[in-house]
Chains A and B, each alone.
Chain A
Amino acid sequence: MIEATRILTFFSLICLNYIFLSTSIWVWTPDLFIAFILFLTTLKSKLPSTYLFILYGFSIDLFFSDQSLPYTITFFLIGAYLSFSNIKWIQRSLLEQLLMIVITSIFLNILLNFINDYSLNIEARIILNPLMNALIWAAIFMTQRHKWLKNF
C-alpha cells in the first residue's frame, strides 16, 4: 500500500466513523481503525514504527475524543507489541490473535467510555465491538491465510 493510498484510506475511515457515530450505528459496528491496523499488518511486509502508530492513534483521537488518549495509548501498545514480538503477527495462532484483538478492543472501549461522554449505548459496544473485531479478523484470516502461506 503506497503512502498516499494509506493516508486517503485513513481519512475515508475517519469520515465513515463520523457517519457511524452520528447515526448511532457505531455501537454495533466493528472498530474501523482496529480493522485498518489489522489490514496493515497483513498487507505490509515491514511494519511502520511504533511512533507512527502513536501518530495514527493521535489523529483518530483528535476527531473522536475529548482528550488525545484512548486511541493514542491503544495504538502505542499495539505498535509496541507488534514491533517487540519475536514472530510476525500473522504467524501466531488464530486463537492467540483473537484473544489479543478482544483484549485490545475491550481496553480501547473502556478508555473511550472513561474519557468521553457518549450519549450512545457504550456498554453494548464494550461487549459487541470486541466480538465484531474478532469476527473481522477471523474473516481476514480465513480468506488471506493461503496467500501468507505462499509467501513463507
Chain B
Amino acid sequence: MSRNILPSKKKIQTYIFGSLLILALNLISNSIQLNEKANKGLINLLNIPSNFISQVLQDYQEFENERIAKLENNILDLQNTIYEKDLEIQSLENSRSYNPVVSSKKFESNSSIISFDQLNFNCCKKHRVYVSNPNNIIGDMLSVSQGDFVIGKTRNISDQVEVRLLSDPEEYISIKNTRNFFCIANGNGEPMTIICKNESKAFDYEIGDTFFTTGFDGIHPEGLIVGRLKKITTENDFFNETLEIELFFNPFKSMNKRVILHD
C-alpha cells in the first residue's frame, strides 16, 4: 500500500530545482511580457466563436420575435373576428321578434376604439371613449355603434373622435321595446346602465326585455340595440316606475374593436 519513500537529498534537490524553475519561468515571462501576450491571444481566440455565437443568437432572436409578432397579429385578428361574430349572434338573438331596417348613412371606416377613460367610468359621471378617425370624417353629432349595438354620440370630431357613452348622465336616448313601450332614457353615471321613468302608467314591459332605438331623436337610427331591462323600481307614489336597463356595450371588452359612425 505504501509508496517508495524518496531520500531527503532527492526531496531537497526537487525543492531547489523547482524553486529555481519557478523563478526562471517568472523572469522569462516577465521580460517578454508573455502573460499579457497569452492573455490577449486567448481573448482573440475565444472572441471569434463568441462573436459568431452571439450573431447566431441575435439572428435567432430576431426570427423568433418576428414569428411572435406575426402570431400575435393573427391572434388579435382572430379575437376581433370572434368579437364581431359574437356581436352578430347577440344582435340576432335580440332581434328575433323585431327586425327593423337600420336606414342611415354609415361611415363603415376602419374607425376603432383607441382609448377609454376608465378612471372616470368607474368612479365618476364622465363616461367617454375615444375613436380613431382615419377617414377624417367631419360632422357635428353622429351616432356611434358597434355592430348593431349603440355606444353613444360623438362630441368633438378631430383626428380622434370623443364619444359620450349612453351611461353618461348628460346623454339621452329615445328607446322602445318590442311591445311598443317607448321612453326617454338617460345615463345615471353608473357603468353600463341607463334609466328611464315610466310616467305613462303603461306596463308593457318585463324584466329581460330588449330595448332598441326609436330613431325619434334624429341622431341614432331606428332599430339599434341598446340594452336589456334589468330592474324595475316602483316610486313612492305607486304610479311611476323607474326602469334600469343594462347596456350591451361594454367598453372594457371593446378596446381596439371596430365601430360604426352613423350620419
A contact residues vs B (CB 8 Å cutoff):
14-15, 18-19, 50-51, 54, 58, 61-69, 72-73, 76, 79-80, 83-88, 91, 152
Within B1-52, which residues are at the interface with A (CB < 8 Å)?
A: 1-3, 5-6, 11, 14-15, 17-19, 21-22, 25-26, 29-30, 34-35, 38-39, 42-43, 46
Known: A73-B22, A83-B6. A63 touches B38 (CB 8 A): yes
B contact residues vs A (CB 8 Å cutoff):
1-3, 5-6, 11, 14-15, 17-19, 21-22, 25-26, 29-30, 34-35, 38-39, 42-43, 46
Partner of A62, one of B2, B18, B19, B34: B34
Q: Is the CB of A19 within 8 A of B46?
A: yes
Known: A50-B18, A68-B35, A80-B18. A86 touches B30 (CB 8 A): no
Given A15-B42, A63-B38: 15 more A-B contacts, CB < 8 Å: A18-B42, A19-B46, A51-B18, A62-B38, A62-B39, A63-B35, A65-B35, A66-B35, A67-B35, A68-B30, A68-B34, A76-B19, A80-B14, A80-B15, A87-B3
Q: Is the CB of B18 within 8 A of A87?
A: no
* Residues of the A chain whose Cβ atoms lie less than 8 Å from the Cβ of B22: 54, 58, 68-69, 72-73, 76
Partner of A68, one of B3, B17, B18, B25: B25
Q: Is the CB of B3 within 8 A of A88?
A: yes
* Residues of the B chain whose Cβ atoms lie less than 8 Å from the Cβ of A61: 29, 35
Q: Is the CB of B46 within 8 A of A62?
A: no
Known: A62-B29, A85-B3. A18 touches B35 (CB 8 A): no
The 6 closest A-B pairs by CB, nearest first: A62-B38, A68-B29, A68-B26, A58-B25, A76-B18, A63-B42
Of chain A, the residue at the smallest CB distance from B37 is A62
* Residues of the B chain whose Cβ atoms lie less than 8 Å from the Cβ of A65: 35
Inter-chain CA distance A72–B1, complex, in Å, is 30
Inter-chain CA distance A50–B15, complex, in Å, is 9
Of chain A, the residue at the smallest CB distance from B43 is A18
Partner of A86, one of B3, B15, B21: B3
Of chain B, the residue at the smallest CB distance from A85 is B3
Q: Is the CB of A67 within 8 A of B14?
A: no
* Residues of the B chain whose Cβ atoms lie less than 8 Å from the Cβ of A62: 29, 34-35, 38-39
Q: Is the CB of B34 within 8 A of A51?
A: no
Inter-chain CA distance A109–B165, complex, in Å, is 72
CB distance from B50 to the nearest CB of A (A): 8
Q: Is the CB of B1 within 8 A of A91?
A: yes
CB distance from B19 to the nearest CB of A (A): 8
CB distance from B40 to the nearest CB of A (A): 10
Most buried by A among B2, B6, B18, B43: B18
Inter-chain CA distance A28–B22, complex, in Å, is 29
